[in-house]
Amino acid sequence: MEAAKNRVLLIEDDKVDQLVFKRLVEDENLPYEYTIAGSVSEGKKTLASKQFDIVITDYYLGDGTAFDILDSLRGSPVIFVTRAGDHEIAVRAMKAGAYDYLI
């Protein structure tokens, strides 16, 4: 019997970072059923049609920021990820309900 897989939504506009995530899941045989969205608008559309156990989102996206998807989460915890750390954004993200903020 196969164990249940965690449903993960990655919202990331960088194709290289998307590929790294895919390879990590596959190479480590992680129990994730994942979906990748490349923008805020694609993430919102995906969240409207499917429930996820967790959402991992880049902070800066081509058509907005991670804050733009918060109203669409439907109870899924969200982790903000960014290359350029900013303490003000981290505090704002945590106050807005982010589960974590990773630099």
Give the closest residue to 35 by CA, choosing from 48, 80, 1: 48
What lies within 8 Å, CB to CB, of 4 at 6+ separation is: 31
- Fill in the DSSP letter of residue 71: G
Write down the pLDDT at residue 86: 80
Which is higher by pLDDT, 85 or 87? 87
What value does the mean pLDDT take over residues 6-11? 98
Nearest to 57 by CA among 74, 75, 38, 71: 38
**The dihedral sign for the CA sequence 45, 46, 50, 52:** negative
| The pTM of the whole model exceeds 0.85 | yes
